């Protein structure tokens, strides 16, 4: 049953990166576009993410619930020492959703639309950045062991734990990744000049992803970060990263040819390999503190709780996943998979 819970946790994180990331990326692409291209991106955003954007947060909720119930030790570490970036992240999600609704459905079109646009755009870039910062904090080695928090200052525990170079670089990486995911998905929803526009954006975002990932590894070597040692001590993780990197070649080839479905599948596989490499290299020590790694098995919930949440997750998957798939296929990110349109 523990394996089932781990599987759902991994899948929920993966789906949130893919679907939620593509959602956030629309706002990033809109922010970084020229005035003319911004209108194009905004129009397509309404068509694509309008019916499905709320559903993307289901995956985040699943992650929070699993961590809270099953791995309370990890949940406590994350929600206490990273409460500042996580609170700002949740605030960004709320602001972004509110701005999207008001700028789309507001009956009055006036100067307030400019405010809604800015709120949507900037929260779209700040939120995934903070998500990446929080993820980077888990492996930066700056977190403080729970039994030693009272011996450190507020700044050491609640600021330096996430406000460091490794975490900030991870924030840039995740922001670049979601912009890339969004551009790839939008390639599959456009044609002609609009498609060429998003192909260019996808390539630029992909370059940013590659550069930021190299900076993370480069700084990790320079600073002697623990996650670097874990990665290079695990041959399978190295293989996964090499495979993920090799997919850059077909991605660029198929992007240039406008192969919509093929590019989506390859990019989804690439993200899966990257996330899998991170888990493989560190598991079960997914959090690094200043005193060493912390196992996810530490203070894990009892067998009865594990069994209960595993059965609940399986039942939820049977009831919810078919509906979500239909929603995405009919209106959103799986639209290109329909046989009647948008084929390669």
Name the one residue in this structure whose structure tokens are 């997750």: 313
Rounded distance between C-alpha atoms, residue 39 and residue 31, angstroms: 11
Mean pLDDT of the chain: 85
Percent of the chain with pLDDT over 90: 41
344: in domain: no
The arithmetic mean of pLDDT across residues 178-191, rounded, is 84
Per-residue model confidence as pLDDT tens digits over 321-332: 777 776 666 555
Per-residue model confidence as pLDDT tens digits over 269-299: 999 999 999 998 888 888 999 888 899 998 8
165: in domain: yes
Kindly indicate the confidence band of residue 48, based on its pLDDT and cuts at 50, 70 and 90. low
343: in domain: no
Domain span at residue 7 reads: 2-337
DSSP secondary structure of 80-124: HHTHHHHHHHHHHHHHHHHHHHHHHH-S--STHHHHHHHHHHHHH
Total of domains in the chain: 1
Where is pLDDT greater, at 107 or 105?
105
User: For residue 87, what are the CA distances in angstroms to 31, 90, 275?
Assistant: 23, 5, 24
29: in domain: yes
DSSP structural state of residue 33: S
pLDDT reading at 338 higher than 50? no
Q: What is the pLDDT of residue 119?
A: 92
Kindly indicate the confidence band of residue 106, based on its pLDDT and cuts at 50, 70 and 90. low
Per-residue model confidence as pLDDT tens digits over 160-172: 999 999 999 999 9
Rounded distance between C-alpha atoms, residue 262 and residue 252, angstroms: 11
342: in domain: no
Rounded distance between C-alpha atoms, residue 132 and residue 202, angstroms: 20
C-beta separation of 185 from 257 below 8 A: no
């Amino acid at each position: 049953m523990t394996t089932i819970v781990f599987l759902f946790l991994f899948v929920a994180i993966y789906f949130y990166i893919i679907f939620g990331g593509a959602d956030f990326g629309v706002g990033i692409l809109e922010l970084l576009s020229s005035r003319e291209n911004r209108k194009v991106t905004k129009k397509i955003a309404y068509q694509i993410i309008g019916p499905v954007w709320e559903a993307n947060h289901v995956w985040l909720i699943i992650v929070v619930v699993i961590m809270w119930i099953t791995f309370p030790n990890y949940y406590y570490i994350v929600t206490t020492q990273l409460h500042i970036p996580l609170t700002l992240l949740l605030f960004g999600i709320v602001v972004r959703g509110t701005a999207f609704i008001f700028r789309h459905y507001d009956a009055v079109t006036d100067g307030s639309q400019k405010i809604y646009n800015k709120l949507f755009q900037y929260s779209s870039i700040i939120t995934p950045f903070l998500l990446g910062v929080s993820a980077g904090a888990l492996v930066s080695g700056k977190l403080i062991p729970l039994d030693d928090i009272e011996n450190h200052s507020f700044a050491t525990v609640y600021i330096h734990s996430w406000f460091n170079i490794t975490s900030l670089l991870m924030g840039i990486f995740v922001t670049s990744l979601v912009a890339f995911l969004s551009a790839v998905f939008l390639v599959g929803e456009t044609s002609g000049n609009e498609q060429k526009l998003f192909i260019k954006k996808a390539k630029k975002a992909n370059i940013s992803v590659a550069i930021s990932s190299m900076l993370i590894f480069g700084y990790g070597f320079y600073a002697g970060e623990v996650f670097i040692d874990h990665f290079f001590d695990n041959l399978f993780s190295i293989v996964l990263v090499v495979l993920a990197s090799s997919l850059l070649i077909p991605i660029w080839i198929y992007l240039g040819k406008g192969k919509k479905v093929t590019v989506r599948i390859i990019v989804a596989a690439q993200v899966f390999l990257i996330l899998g490499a991170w888990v493989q290299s560190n598991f079960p020590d997914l959090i690094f503190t200043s005193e060493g790694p912390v196992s996810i098995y530490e203070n894990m919930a009892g067998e009865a709780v594990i069994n209960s949440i595993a059965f609940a997750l399986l039942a939820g998957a049977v009831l919810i996943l078919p509906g979500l798939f239909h929603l995405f296929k009919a209106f959103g990110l799986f639209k290109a998979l329909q046989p009647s349109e948008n084929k390669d």
